[in-house]
Structure 1
């Protein structure tokens, strides 16, 4: 047991991938949207997902052979659905995944999927311990769980720790839905944006917000104000499954979102990505709902409840949105040579769905996340690609 621990204050220069850091009664809570954005829409879904630190990691340089991290997770329990896996922490040394752990203790929020009611139960902080690390100076990253709100309480090492020096890597700012957030991935560096970022040797800021890629102006302003070398937007599935708007509103909303980003990033490479293949919403509008019959059988599944005939009245489907996004990007690219489009079917299409079907009819599994990350990296970061050097 190590006794000569050095406690290093957790500050913004040790944290990557977060846009805000809130001091709480127990510790520090990373946020993926700034306070001003959070104040404009206090919807419980958005509040939950933006506080889940997908893509957020501690990064420090040390020769420590042992590291301890005290954290306070908040886990969500759904009694009528299959149990959710506990959040995983990935420890990387010089970019290589070296160890994984889960936290003990933590708060719980029990949610009734039928009524929407929630009950909060406080719990204790837990300690993660990583030992046997190589005795040399190295870059250490601890990626926080992508699916579990996490307060950081204390960081201890058995040798001094300092911020990682600037390596000159480009910063990639990405926004998308729960698929970009990492739903159904099993660990934080296994979500498709994190895998693509590793392959592209870039620093990820992941604004994948489950159920909340809805062309919100406050998200566009957050992206406008965030320094970045590369930007991507994955648009479509949440607009459809929330039944949020009709075609008349969708096109101007996309233009407005892009206009806002361009106010702060006038010439930054910007890649618009449409939705991956999702059979239930290809030609059927939303809204989306849980498949409660499947839940009774112990499975978590979703289903679309719209009427395909309503497309004639402007209801949105994934097919409609892909066509509209392609048209908008072509139109704007005439005056914006750094604006690009990627059809989401190139990341996961109909043939992929036959081989690796979406396990809940909405989100890809862990293997598909890796496939999507590899395909995105091959397209975006290749020589001559939108994010190529």
Structure 2
């Protein structure tokens, strides 16, 4: 073990200690991965710190690195869930820049046979909710849907902060979603994002409980199932996901958004399984590809063995406050040489502590997710020194 693979980290009490990297990878990426699940990685964006004058508001994107990372994900057989919350949608990425990202990603995918891109349509260009009506929310959704469809994109119908702010009950959600689903060109993926990911979405679907909210969402799906390809739920509650999965129409897919319990939910049980649309796949993509390929070959044991070490990392990155998980995803991309710096839009790299990043480094190493130990160690050393360690 070279000296460069020894790094200084902080323990959970904020005390420095020396860590020797393990760097072992007990799996390999197949040359031509084959999956029996539909899988999308929600991809991050790479900021351009050299063009940022105001890091809290500038939409400075390193387009080359951002698209190169999508090439990396597509080369591993993964679909791209574009301009979602992992890309800092609503937390640094505005709608005009999101649309430019979607256009570039959809165009890029044309060069990769079989590549899949589905893109988030929402209402995030609405900022003042004080005088909004349901028709304003519908019109905002229609504007984004139309723009994405115009560039040949598929739709992920994102949850709306505006709708959550003005809806008086379940009927308002049913009105908005039914109106939109009647209009879309192709079946969409719905996205139920829990309030742990976005506190502004508390009480979504108008139900007083998760169960009653689920009933409203299922009613929308059943009434419009020809226009619903699937639903992604991000509640970090595997039991609720399984409960809903078993009630979906046969033609509608469940996409797990559970970054805590994804191996179990993707593998499934005697009554079914979940497909996947996950932010954590951005950070564990090579391992995920290897595991999913094994599952498609009927080797569930290898699938579980490969993904098991990634779960502690995922649970750490998505720990409360969960909405700041994006910082950990970009941290992994930086450690693995996919970008030259550790900077996020809005300065969001400061949303997590050095203690958090130290633990993420250790867990990523133990899961075999660091591609080059020397590069990762050097970058972790530089981050520690920057923090006075």
TM-score normalised by structure 1 residue count: 0.34
Q: Return the structure number with greater relative CO, CA threshold 8 A, min gap 6.
A: 2
Q: Which has the higher helix share?
A: 2
